[in-house]
Amino acid sequence: MRQLVLDTETTGLNARTGDRIIEIGCVELVNRRLTGNNLHFYVNPGRDSDPGALAVHGLTTEFLSDKPKFADIAAELRDFVADAELIIHNAPFDVGFMDVEFAMVGMPCVKEVCGGVIDTLVQAKQMFPGKRNSLDALCDRFGISNAHRTLHGALLDSELLAEVYLAMTRGQESLVIDMLGETQSAGEGHAPIALDDLQLPVLVASEEELSAHLAVLDDLDKAVKGTSVWRIETVIVAEAPAGS
């Protein structure tokens, strides 16, 4: 499954009254793994940022003056997000801005192009009701370092949100569900899972790891002044008849 963690920075808070996107960052996840195939644009909005917004992102009019207009990057952005599931913190804000920008260049809205939108702010409020659920607060809650985040930036915030999202959703899907998909048909009980169909990687211990393991067992033998239970269990398994 392809997912994109997305964030924007803007000149202000209201796209309907003329505020524009000035930065877009997308971080790609495939099967819950970061791929490094990210997308990042600074955008010339053709106007100044509101003082409050400028204090948040620090992207001055002078810095943005030689950057491409949204019309210049719209097609590449549309193609990049096509069919992907978007993960956004406070999604209505970013999606609303992108919808206005796409409409201005005659392109369809975000939800007509992407494969769905997940709002991590909604998820966080469900998980931690009554608590602060800003990106900074969630980073603190999940032990994710954001010490390098002195100003908001779309790509940096997307990278942090990707870590937060993975932490928030870890353990929701079992390995079997991930690999086999939904196995239960409507109106039926749980269908049997064909474990033979699973192709699990086999990780074999190295010689160094085996030596370290034996050293630990030797220490356990000395501690109990005999044979530790781990060696006994190993013998039982080794001597068990086939099919038992």
CATH (domain of 31):
3.30.420.10
Please tell me whether residues 153 and 219 are part of one structural domain.
Answer: no
pLDDT of 180 reads: 44
Contacts of 206 (CB under 8 A, 6+ apart): none
* Structural domain count, the chain: 2
pLDDT tier for residue 182 given thresholds of 50, 70 and 90: very low
Distances (CA, A) of 43 to 13, 59, 81, 87: 16, 10, 17, 21
Please tell me whether residues 135 and 90 are part of one structural domain.
Answer: yes
pLDDT tens per residue across span 223-236: 767 776 666 654 44
Please tell me whether residues 215 and 155 are part of one structural domain.
Answer: no
Is residue 176 pLDDT above 50, yes or no?
no
In-domain check, residue 191? no
Q: Identify whether 152 is a catalytic site residue.
A: yes
pLDDT of 229 reads: 64
Please tell me whether residues 131 and 45 are part of one structural domain.
Answer: yes
In-domain check, residue 141? yes
Least confident of 5-9, 64-68, 103-107, 219-223: 219-223
**Domain stop point among 132, 163, 180:** 180
Annotated active-site residue in 40, 152, 190, 213? 152
Percent of the chain at pLDDT > 70 equals 78
Q: What is the mean pLDDT of the chain?
A: 85
Mean pLDDT of 80-104: 98
DSSP secondary-structure letter at 129? T
pLDDT of 100 reads: 97
Residues 79, 165: Cα–Cα separation, whole Å = 23
Residues 147, 156: Cα–Cα separation, whole Å = 12
pLDDT tier for residue 48 given thresholds of 50, 70 and 90: very high
Please tell me whether residues 97 and 13 are part of one structural domain.
Answer: yes
pLDDT of 215 reads: 82
Is residue 192 pLDDT above 60, yes or no?
no
In-domain check, residue 133? yes
Tell me the two tokens of residue 30: 């495939």
Residues 128, 34: Cα–Cα separation, whole Å = 26
Please tell me whether residues 213 and 130 are part of one structural domain.
Answer: no
Query: The pTM is what?
Result: 0.70
pLDDT of 151 reads: 67
Is residue 109 pLDDT above 80, yes or no?
yes
Mean pLDDT of 110-114: 97
Please tell me whether residues 110 and 26 are part of one structural domain.
Answer: yes
Its domain, for residue 214, covers 207-239
Mean pLDDT of 115-140: 96
